[in-house]
Amino acid sequence: MARIVKIVEGQIDFHEALEAARSPRNGGLATFYGSTRDNSEGKSVHRLFYEAYKPMAVAKMEEIADQIREKWGVEDIAMVHRIGEVPIGEVSVFIAAGSPHRVEAFSACRFAIDTLKETVPIWKKEFFDDGEVWVGQTPSGRESGD
């Protein structure tokens, strides 16, 4: 029965985030775990690093939570992004949205991660065998797919 919006270094506290989005009035809770994959466009990824413009990133995440409250009346939401080195397979972003009905919980969760990926100033760097790249800003100018 609360809102949690934060950027952390080190592992995300899922329990705390889930508890924020839980409430006896909520029949539905939708979550999303984004984790670092072991490959990207066919290349093996060895490690990942996230950087944030922290105060602006938190402000944009709060803005997303505000939009979610206005659009779907969903107030119980957690949005946590991890920065720094994130080992392969570990979770870099976690969203949880609780609502009396499931449709709103799903819509809120989906909107949160979609909008976060579009508007929140956080950047991911992938390290390969033969180099490294800031995702979305490649020499060819292409942007990342998801």
Partner 1 sequence: MARVLADATVGTARAAAVVSVRLFAGAAEATGVRVHRMSIEDGATVDVAFDRMVEEFPALAALKSSLKFAVNQEFVEMDQRLSDGDEMAVIPPVSGG
Written as one letter, the residue type at 71 is K
Per-residue mark of binding to partner 1, 61-100 (x: CB under 8 A)? --------------------x----------xx-------
Chain-centre distance of CA 66, in angstroms?
16
Footprint of partner 1 on residues 95-134 (CB under 8 A)? 102, 113, 116-125, 134
Per-residue mark of binding to its own copies, 32-51 (x: CB under 8 A)? xxxxxxxx------------
Q: Which two tokens stand for residue 21?
A: 């989005």
Stretch that binds its own copies, among 22-30, 76-84, 119-127, 128-136 (CB under 8 A): 22-30
Contacts of residues 136-142 at CB distance under 8 Å and 24 or more positions apart, as own/partner, are none
User: Does residue 88 belong to the site contacting its own copies (CB under 8 A)?
Assistant: yes
Helix 54-72 and helix 102-119, axial crossing angle in degrees, nearest 10: 150
Among residues 50, 86, 98, 99, which is the contact residue for partner 1, using CB under 8 A?
50
End-to-end CA distance of the chain: 30
